[in-house]
Amino acid sequence: MVQYGINLLVFFTLFSTFADGRLKLPPYPPDVNYTPTFPQLVANNGYKAETHKVITEDGYILTLFRIPRGRKCRGPIRQPPVLIMHGFISSADGYIDSDPNTDLGYLIPDECYDTWFGSFRGTFYSRGHVKLNPNTDRKFWQFSTDEMGMYDVPAFIDYVLYITGSEQLNYIGFSQGGGTFFIMCSERPGYCNKAKLFIGLAPATRHLNTRSLSFRLISQAFNGILKPLEDAGIYEIFTKGFPLQRLLNFLCRNNIMAGIICGTMVAILDNPNPGSITANTLRIVYEHTPAGISTKLLARYGQAMTETEFLKFDYGPTVNTQLYGSTTPPAYNLSAVTCPVVVIQGRNDGIVDMRDSLWAAKQMPNLLEYHIVTDPLWTHADNTKSQYIPKYTFPTVRKYLREYSANGGGGSDDESSRIPMSYLLSPWLK
């Protein structure tokens, strides 16, 4: 039954790619904002959000949201500000999908942090460029995590520091949002010093040990057919407002259907953790997920499934030689992640396997803690969607944010889940 579900999911993903695609990129649907936006979602829960626009060095126009103060904050705003980055096929909305009492996007502002939420290029919030039209220019979609780490993350950091007047910020990255931070540290000397603290929720680097068969099959399939897809004019996939996202939204509108169909889909893509993600959360998730990515980005994850290192995009021997000076792509330097690092990892994560995140963490010179979630069934999706975040992961997040804040204090810690350190050994602003 599980294998049948995987086969169906892979087939549907490939089919929807061609259903979404056109020989020329289609215009964005006029009713793409038929679901609430980030500011509307947080306003519904009694919070106020600001919307900011950021321009990267290579011309992408990105959206950055800010919750300057939480509804439950009763004291002075803690310093430095906090920047939170989302994972694959998600957007800034991924941190506010559920209950204000359980979502990191609310829990952190409620601790009196000036909290910022970025959306990577290609998502429906960041689908703009100073020169390129995403509907007609294929060059717009020529990006993967390489460009996100090289340009998007530094632009977000520079903007937050510029607006707040702070010299540093605390950075929280889930999955792709963590891996792109590592890319920045490797490729942009000095930028790691702008982060006072990095907290990675299952940060993604290599995917050699990924256990999700569906994610492995889909991403590797796209890597294999990337050129035919691009030759057919298909550069964008998993777009908000197109058939795949509309169908998921329709199927998950009812809480019963969300729990059965959409809950099963999450389990197939990741791993099961019954009852961890509520049906109501799933219903909200699929109102704005998937949020849009490039086909090249998905192909990049396909390449990572067989890599023993955290490598740059593999264009093939000829282009690699032109770009990198070698027939194979070079590895990112994880020892360049010199800021204090905390990694939070679940044992049952089907996307970012513990063996891969531990492999990466052991190379970082200032690793504070590799925190294993005590729930043995904790999955990848649980990091941002579980109703049990306040119990299993937020105490660790809060502890380190307080320790690395000017007016912080202590926090709770679960020593039983901690690996001993002995084992682990922008121009446009100017």
Contact of 67 with 105, CB cutoff 8 Å: yes
Catalytic site residue from 90, 175, 214, 405: 175
Nearest residue to 122 (alpha-carbon basis) of 239, 202, 13, 27: 239
C-alpha–C-alpha distance, residues 307 and 343, integer Å = 21
Q: Which residues pair with 129 in a beta bridge?
A: 60
Report CA 46 to chain centroid distance, whole Å.
25
Q: Which two tokens stand for residue 175?
A: 């999955």
C-alpha–C-alpha distance, residues 15 and 161, integer Å = 43
Q: Which residues pair with 50 in a beta bridge?
A: 66
Name the residue type at position 197: L
Q: Which two tokens stand for residue 8?
A: 């169906």
Catalytic site residue from 380, 386, 405, 417: 380
Q: What is the full DSSP assignment across 258-279?
A: IIIIIHHHHHHHS---TTSS-H
State yes or no: is 380 an active-site residue.
Answer: yes
CA dihedral 70, 184, 97, 264 (to 10 degrees): -150
Nearest residue to 313 (alpha-carbon basis) of 191, 193, 214, 223: 223
Map tokens 């990095």 to a residue.
198
| CB contact set of 37 (below 8 Å; sequence gap of 6+) | none
| CB contact set of 390 (below 8 Å; sequence gap of 6+) | 101, 102, 107
Residue 429's CB: how many other CB atoms inside 10 A? 12
Q: Which residues pair with 199 in a beta bridge?
A: 172, 342
State yes or no: is 175 an active-site residue.
Answer: yes
Contact of 428 with 57, CB cutoff 8 Å: yes
Distances (CA, A) of 138 to 171, 216, 234, 252, 294: 32, 26, 9, 32, 10
C-alpha–C-alpha distance, residues 326 and 284, integer Å = 46
Which of the residues are catalytic? Answer: 175, 380
